[in-house]
Amino acid sequence: MKLRLDKYLSESMPGTRSEVKKAVRKGMVQVNGHTVQKPEYHVDTENDQVLFAGKRVVYAEYEYYMLNKPSGVISASTDPREPCVVDLITEPKRKDLFPVGRLDRDAEGLLLITNDGGLAHRLLSPKKHVDKVYYARVRGQATQRDVEAFRQGVDIGEEKPALPAGLHILDSGEVSEVKVTVREGKFHQVKRMFQAVGKEVLYLKRLQMGTLVLDETLKPGEYRTLNRNELDKLC
């Protein structure tokens, strides 16, 4: 792909486009061993070698990270007051990363972080019906009646009931452990579904989104890039 030099640089390293332009004009950038002082110069993202102040700058059109979101962090790109999930990606190449879908501040687990808007749309569009699987601990005894209610679609206070969802009881007691599979991503979806059957979610963790499964070797707060196989399946 051919790209203006200032765009290539501003999308690949810290600094605004105008700061980058100034640096190019000052002669701080080399393309294939030659100093280039024109920000409008076009580089080939696959074949040209770009150096800024002597250091290689590699262009990545898209980046994909799997994060095990910890509790206490909000699902946003930036926030002036709160720590955000994108802040946990410590060496991003891109500045336009965002989380695909939200997890509540107190929820943990799988969060895809990318700058690929097309993929995000395909995963989040209600029409695409992408399954999301959660592990939850809930206060109260989970029963077959709950399973049936989820299968039918519970009333979560919206115009229409929630879409049919899968509820698998792992352990039932004063506190029950369950796996829930939902196709929607409404605000507090799982918590409201349990509220509808008289139970409170005490802990919530997303395990899967479509074909993407949380890598359980990632501790809360840790992340890694998606591998080829995961990307092929998602895309």
Interacting residues with ligand URA (CB under 6 A): 103-104, 107, 188-191, 204
- Rounded least distance, CB 105 to ligand URA, Å: 8
- Rounded least distance, CB 189 to ligand URA, Å: 4
- Rounded least distance, CB 104 to ligand URA, Å: 4
Q: Which residues contact 19 (CB under 8 A, 6 or more apart)?
A: 10
Q: 3 vs 190, which CB is nearer to ligand URA?
A: 190
**Is the CB of residue 81 less than 8 Å from the CB of residue 73?**
no
- How many Cβ atoms are within 10 Å of 42's Cβ, its own excluded? 15
SS3 of the chain: CEEEHHHHHHCCCCCCHHHHHHHHHCCCEEECCEECCCCCCEEECCCCCEEECCEECCCCCCCEEEEEECCCCECCCCCCCCCEHHHHCCCCCCCCCEECCCCCCCCEEEEEEECCHHHHHHHHCHHHCCCEEEEEEEEECCCHHHHHHHHHCCCCCCCCCCCCCEEEEEECCCEEEEEEEECCCCCCHHHHHHHHCCCEEEEEEEEEECCEECCCCCCCCCEEECCHHHHHHHC
Q: 36 vs 84, which CB is nearer to ligand URA?
A: 84
Give the C-alpha separation, 68 to 177, whole Å.
20
Active-site amino acid positions: 104
Q: 148 vs 200, which CB is nearer to ligand URA?
A: 200
Q: 97 vs 107, which CB is nearer to ligand URA?
A: 107
Q: 29 vs 103, which CB is nearer to ligand URA?
A: 103
- Rounded least distance, CB 103 to ligand URA, Å: 4
- Rounded least distance, CB 164 to ligand URA, Å: 16
